[in-house]
Amino acid sequence: MDADALAAVTPGRPVGVAIVDDHPVVIDGVRAWLATEPRLTVLATGDDPDEVLRAAPEADVVLLDLRLHGRVVLDKLAELSAAGRRVVVYSEHSDPQTMLAALDAGAVAFLAKHEGREHCVATVLDAAADRPYVAPALAGAIVGDSRPDRPVLSDQEREALLLWFQSMSKASVARRMRISEHTVKQYVDRARIKYTRAGRPAATKAALLARAIEDGLVRPEEIGIYRSQASTDWPTP
């Protein structure tokens, strides 16, 4: 699902987070990290995604351990993403293949468990604001991916994607490029279609960003990938 189709977070209210992990010590640690940021509030925790979201259906972001009770839950990740959930995968399995598979399944971001509080807080804030955030482990996986099926994007498609990745709404991109919002959507959709035809679908903004970086169409520094902290700005509607 396109990140633009997700339910908007109301500016000024705390971002509601649901944490799904089968290790209580991890839940306690993440809860403590998120508690340091007043813009975040933990609504529910547990080891079963369905039970957690029944307790907190209004959660803006789901922080999901990719391995629950001994099983990799890419299928549940895909289900949650298809239902319109912003899912940030938080996992100790940080090999490139797993990280890219999570993005392909619909995760809006991937955070390795060793990456610490700063990246955890920033990732959740950016996920809620539909901004791409790529922590160092995922950046390494993306840049190191050498798959050869690279679609050719036009200059206009690349410019529209770059501006969109820089936290702009499609309406803001349209104003910047002096074109209609419909045309911006066409450029983004064309890029997605080209990647799908190449056998590398990119259903979410995070997945499309990963593809663009993999193929050298966008450089990490062009979107400020290594932000030391999340922006306090909310996205333009």
Q: Lowest-confidence range among 81-85, 171-175, 211-215, 217-221?
A: 217-221
- Domain membership of residue 236 (yes or no) is no
Q: Please, are residues 104 and 207 in contact by the beta-carbon 8 Å criterion?
A: yes
C-beta atoms surrounding 174 within 10 Å? 19
pTM: 0.67
Token duo for residue 103: 């993005």
- Domain membership of residue 234 (yes or no) is no
Q: Please, are residues 168 and 132 in contact by the beta-carbon 8 Å criterion?
A: no
Q: Lowest-confidence range among 27-41, 68-82, 185-199?
A: 185-199
> Can you give 18-79 as a three-state secondary structure string?
EEECCCHHHHHHHHHHHHCCCCEEEEEEECCHHHHHHHCCCCCEEEECCEECCEECHHHHHH
- Domain membership of residue 237 (yes or no) is no
- Domain membership of residue 235 (yes or no) is no
Which of the pair, 127 or 18, is modelled with greater confidence? 18
How many domains does the chain contain in total?
A: 1
Residue 168, domain extent: 3-223
C-beta atoms surrounding 182 within 10 Å? 9
- Domain membership of residue 31 (yes or no) is yes
Beta strand 86-91 with 109-112 is: parallel
Q: How far is CA 2 from CA 26, 63, 187, 224, 230, in A?
A: 30, 19, 14, 21, 21
CATH number assigned to the domain comprising residue 27: 3.40.50.2300
Residue 17 to residue 145: CA distance in whole angstroms? 31
41-61 residue pLDDT tens: 999 999 999 999 999 999 999
- Domain membership of residue 56 (yes or no) is yes
pLDDT value of position 237: 32
- Domain membership of residue 38 (yes or no) is yes
181-206 residue pLDDT tens: 888 888 888 888 788 777 777 877 88
Q: Please, are residues 16 and 34 in contact by the beta-carbon 8 Å criterion?
A: no
**Cα-based torsion angle of the residue sequence 104, 105, 106, 112 in order, rounded to the nearest 10 degrees:** -80
Q: Please, are residues 63 and 115 in contact by the beta-carbon 8 Å criterion?
A: no
- Domain membership of residue 161 (yes or no) is yes
